Structure 1
């Protein structure tokens, strides 16, 4: 996507949200230090209701906005963290919102269990994708197995997918899709957090 004036990224929040899967994403989207966009990206939480939700780590989060009121044209991306709700009807509104976003050409990023929900809805049947394991998605009886990639994160036509074991790669794919950072900064961030190479820190300090 190209950078636009819309710099709001929406993070779906719900009970049992897997905290660790979006920590890198939220921290760096809200930190405008190295952003290349003319402005500053910000993250807003969105949920099916405005009551507090409790993450898998026991943190309580008060949603900023209602999922039903979210329009693709008002967002730069919808991010769906992993959770324990994905096989239930409680997760259906998030899947349908993801479908609405993709149909409108606005990116969606899903990790871990959220990829299972998208698979069950047929949203992975015609896009290259990944997840925590191929066997996980195969067990759901979806039709997209031929497009599964043994990679930590995959982007195809605005849909980013990743497994629970790849929060840093998930973040890198999101930053690349949003064009938040210039390539050298993105490389240095991954060198620091992905490769755990301290040289990445010194590179970032020199930007």
Structure 2
């Protein structure tokens, strides 16, 4: 990927998008404070169409681009928040694009129900991963149980997966993969938001 093509992080948006699951990651990516290269990344939303979607929290979101316009070469990462659509045909175009990203070694980060969509497509079978629970994925008939890890968030090559209850840990894996912060800064960021330790705030203020 060229430097220019690697600067946009795409966040998939669709009806029933789980508002809280990507928020820590997108805020940190889009906010230049404490970053290794401030302003390197921008966040753009991608939908099946340009029609507005409605999140779980009732927020109306207008996609910036469509899936048809998105290619791995033009993205630094595709983030797939949780949703209720993952077992339906409406979610298949997002899964197909995720498959293309992984094949091109461009990162894909999926959390909650989005991991179910990837599991149903066999994209978790050969990679270490997590999800809300092993039983959740097994109920979908997937074949990757041997690679399931009962952890809050897992990175294996270009794939990041997270549990619904762990948006901060999910964000930490995303920020590490994109090298948004220096490692010590990421540790302080997680100390503040993950461990709820106010010492992290003062460490960040000293960066």
TM-score, with normalisation over the residues of structure 1?
Answer: 0.97
1:69, CA displacement in angstroms?
A: 1.1
1:78 aligns with 2:87: no
Number of equivalent positions: 206
SS in 1 for 2:84: coil
SS in 1 for 2:87: coil
CA distance in 2, matches of 1:164, 1:12: 16
CA distance in 2, matches of 1:202, 1:89: 47
CA distance in 2, matches of 1:124, 1:88: 18
CA distance in 2, matches of 1:43, 1:3: 17
1:20 aligns with 2:58: no
SS in 2 for 1:9: strand
CA RMSD, 1 decimal: 1.3
CA distance in 2, matches of 1:188, 1:178: 17
* Runs of 4+ residues over 3 Å off in structure 1: 2-5
CA distance in 2, matches of 1:56, 1:8: 25
CA distance in 2, matches of 1:157, 1:205: 32
TM-score, with normalisation over the residues of structure 2?
Answer: 0.97
1:38, CA displacement in angstroms?
A: 6.6
SS in 2 for 1:136: helix
1:114 aligns with 2:76: no
The runs of 5 or more residues in structure 1 that have no matched partner are none
Instruction: Tell me the equivalent position of 2:32.
Output: 32
